[in-house]
């Protein structure tokens, strides 16, 4: 409802109180609901504006992949090839189990692989924007009081 409709509704309610000195709660509720409905339908609804397709220049640049994403991209095909090479009698791992295996491998060799993959990304892209430094309080030392 618009402000003008609110004003009309309030004026109708004031008029109801002036005309009716004694009324029941039921009378008041029915009057207010009828008045509200009549003023509600009087206001035209705004049509929603459909968003068009974004133009090619409007897209944000993608973030560079994380070290974990690069590790999964490099390791998962090797694990899938190993699973495909298994014979018919052997049980093959499901996709979720393969991802769990990759995660376990990542935990075991996280620091070394992280450094290697990030260096590879830097070499490929030649330019990497530094992440903004976090601002905040420095931790207090117990000695400095």
Which tens digits make up the pLDDT trace of 48-59? 677 666 666 667
**Does residue 145 lie in a domain region?**
no
pLDDT tens across 14-35, in order?
A: 887 788 777 787 887 887 788 7
Are 74 and 111 contained in the same domain?
yes
Q: Which two tokens stand for residue 68?
A: 């974990």
Domain count, the chain: 2
| Residue 96: per-residue pLDDT | 92
Q: Considering the domain boundaries, does residue 80 fall inside one?
A: yes
Taking the CB of residue 16, how many other CB atoms lie within 10 A of it? Answer: 15
Q: Give the pLDDT of residue 54.
A: 66
Are residues 78 and 33 both part of a single domain? no
Decide: 72 and 110 in contact? Cβ < 8 Å.
Answer: no
- Selected residue with higher pLDDT from 86 and 63: 63
In this predicted structure, what is the pLDDT of residue 141? 66
| Cβ–Cβ < 8 Å for 75, 102 | yes
Domain that holds residue 37: 3-42
Assigned domain for 100 exists: yes
CA dihedral 115, 120, 126, 131 (to 10 degrees): -30
Would the pTM of this model clear 0.85, i.e. be above it? no
Q: Which two tokens stand for residue 79?
A: 């694990």
Q: Is residue 74 part of a domain?
A: yes
């Amino acid at each position: 409802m618009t402000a003008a409709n609110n004003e009309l509704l309030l004026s109708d309610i004031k008029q109801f109180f002036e005309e009716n000195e004694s009324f029941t709660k039921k009378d008041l509720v029915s009057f207010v609901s009828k008045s509200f409905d009549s003023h509600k339908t009087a206001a035209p609804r705004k049509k929603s504006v459909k968003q068009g397709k974004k133009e090619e220049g409007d897209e944000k640049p993608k973030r560079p992949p994380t070290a974990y994403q690069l590790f999964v991209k490099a390791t998962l095909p090797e694990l899938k090839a190993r699973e495909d090479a298994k014979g018919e009698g052997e049980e093959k791992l499901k996709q979720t189990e393969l991802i769990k295996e990759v995660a376990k491998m990542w935990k075991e060799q996280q620091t070394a692989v992280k450094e290697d993959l990030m260096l590879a990304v830097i070499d490929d892209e030649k330019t990497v924007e530094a992440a903004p430094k976090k601002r905040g309080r420095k931790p207090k030392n117990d000695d400095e009081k």
